[in-house]
């Protein structure tokens, strides 16, 4: 395992699923974490699971709320003395269907949370700590952002934008701040349940490794990108797909 002792991370969308698994992996590797999400009750449970106040704090709020962003960053630094790692994991996908049929308001919400708020979190972290001290940013994108995605085009477009945002910020913030992304395929979480529930075996057959992802698969890669082991890596998107693209010939 990499050594993240003395480091502090803020992870958005971290009360469950991939976000909570990332927080747990970073804590296991020695970091202190701030976890954010909308529901305070779920966050309290997450903090307990992470080992309590010595290892984790929680700040409830909406990922795209500027006041919440500023409060979470400030409380992280107040509690642990730094903000070395930012993981933009919060995401939504309320729009399902052909692009021309989507409600423009839903499409706009997808971009507000998945792209614009990711930039806002980076801006807040940069202003409060990273601009002077440096750090690492990891954005959780998706393989859906690498090509057409049937019936989830708005989500796919937002993740493509997040991948581009990753490269753009890496260029603008170097050399002090590294910015990378991960692009998972289907991971077994409640967020992605509609993509595999009731037909998991059939869906998994399209993956070279014969199974869908689990949150821990993503957490390990994020911990790598957050660590000094990835110290010569920025602007990259690491595909974590169990061989899905390999099987599809992309």
Give me the active site residues, please.
Answer: 155
| Spatial CA neighbour of 216 closest among 76, 88, 26 | 26
Q: How many whole angstroms separate alpha carbon 36 and alpha carbon 59?
A: 5
Q: How many whole angstroms separate alpha carbon 106 and alpha carbon 52?
A: 36
Cα angle 139, 145, 146; round to 5:
120
SS3 187: strand
Cα angle 41, 72, 127; round to 5:
165
Residue 66 to residues 41, 117, 133, 152, Cα–Cα distance (Å): 22, 8, 22, 27
Pairing of strands 135-140, 8-11: unpaired
* Token code pair at residue 43: 């966050």
Residue 137 to residues 85, 103, 119, 178, Cα–Cα distance (Å): 6, 32, 11, 6
Q: How many whole angstroms separate alpha carbon 166 and alpha carbon 182?
A: 10
Residue 185 to residues 50, 65, 129, Cα–Cα distance (Å): 26, 28, 32
Phi, psi of 210 (to 5 degrees): 75, 15
């Amino acid at each position: 395992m990499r050594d993240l002792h003395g480091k502090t991370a803020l992870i958005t969308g971290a009360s469950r699923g991939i976000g909570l698994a990332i927080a747990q992996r970073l804590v296991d590797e020695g970091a202190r974490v701030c976890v954010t999400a909308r529901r305070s009750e779920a966050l309290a449970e997450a903090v307990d699971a992470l080992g309590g106040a010595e290892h984790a704090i929680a700040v409830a709020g909406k990922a795209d709320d500027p006041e919440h962003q500023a409060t979470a960053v400030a409380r992280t630094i107040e509690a642990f003395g730094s903000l070395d790692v930012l993981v933009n994991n919060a995401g939504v996908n309320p729009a399902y269907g052909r692009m021309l049929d989507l409600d423009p308001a839903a499409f706009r919400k997808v971009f507000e949370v998945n792209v614009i708020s990711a930039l806002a979190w980076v801006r807040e972290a940069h202003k409060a700590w990273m601009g002077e001290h440096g750090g690492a940013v990891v954005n959780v994108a998706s393989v859906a952002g690498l090509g057409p995605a049937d019936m989830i085009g708005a989500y796919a477009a937002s993740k493509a934008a997040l991948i581009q945002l990753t490269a753009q910020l890496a260029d603008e913030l170097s050399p002090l701040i590294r910015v990378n992304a991960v692009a998972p395929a289907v991971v077994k979480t409640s967020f992605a349940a509609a993509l595999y529930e009731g037909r998991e075996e059939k869906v998994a057959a399209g993956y070279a490794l014969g199974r869908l992802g689990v949150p821990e698969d993503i957490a390990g890669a994020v911990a790598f990108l957050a660590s000094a082991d990835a110290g010569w890596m920025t602007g990259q998107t690491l595909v974590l797909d169990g061989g899905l693209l390999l099987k599809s010939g992309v």
